[in-house]
Amino acid sequence: MVTSQINVFLGGFGVEHDMVNIVPSKRVYVKGLLADESASVVLRIARELDLEVPSPLILASVALQSYLQNGGYEAASHDFERALEYVETDAEQALGSASSTLESICKAILEKFHEPCPKDESLAPLVRTVFKKMNLSPEAHADPDIKRVLGGLLNSAIGIGVLRTKYSGFHGKSGEQKRKRLSGRHARLAVNAASTIGLFLVETYLERFSLKAP
């Protein structure tokens, strides 16, 4: 496409563009136009162009990073960048950063509510406090299926924190823990789980409370 065709094409998806017909680099130009667009818009454009679409887990990571970078979650954004950076090369570092990402997200949400963090600022108390504050605690729901899903998310988050304590490079280890080294599949599990849980928490806050919190 020439630049004018790019503008017309992207305009069909609601993407605002400059009134230009010539640019030094069409790739750089399009990248700039799409920089602030949601993952869902970019996905629709990719499908229209018959491009290969990333897996849902990759999309969850992209969406979460966008929310963190633009929604006042600076510490969580840095933690998540480290988790993604090390997921294929350093399982222990990636696991520790995945846990830190969820801790930072929980602290940021509590700050938005002007709520204090629990005295124990490890992941389990933090995530339980945030779940309770946003009415996500499994015991608060009568529907057994909702209970099961929320319980699974809560237990997964707590499990990431436990694995971090036992096996990541963020804490000392016993001889037995040192012998049981984490592999890439453990790192990918932790980072993908953190992406899903973190995205769910951030989107829940935005949908339910962003205009209501004091």
Residue-wise pLDDT for 91-145, tens only, equals 999 999 999 999 999 999 999 999 999 999 999 999 999 999 999 999 999 999 9
Cα–Cα dist 87/151, whole Å: 26
Q: What pLDDT is stored for residue 213 in this prediction?
A: 47
Matching residue, tokens 């993908």: 192
**How crowded is residue 48: how many other Cβ atoms within 10 Å of its Cβ?**
11
Matching residue, tokens 């009415």: 135
Collect the ranges in the chain with pLDDT lower than 50.
177, 213-214
The b-or-e profile of 122-158 (16+ CB within 10 A means b, else e) is ebbbbbbbbbebbebbbeebeeeeeeeebeebbebbb
pTM to 2 decimals? 0.71
Q: What pLDDT is stored for residue 63 in this prediction?
A: 82
How many CA atoms within 13 Å lie on the side-chain side of 198? 36
**How crowded is residue 196: how many other Cβ atoms within 10 Å of its Cβ?**
18
- Cβ 181 vs Cβ 90: under 8 Å: no
Q: What pLDDT is stored for residue 124 in this prediction?
A: 95
Closest CA to 91 of 180, 199, 197: 180
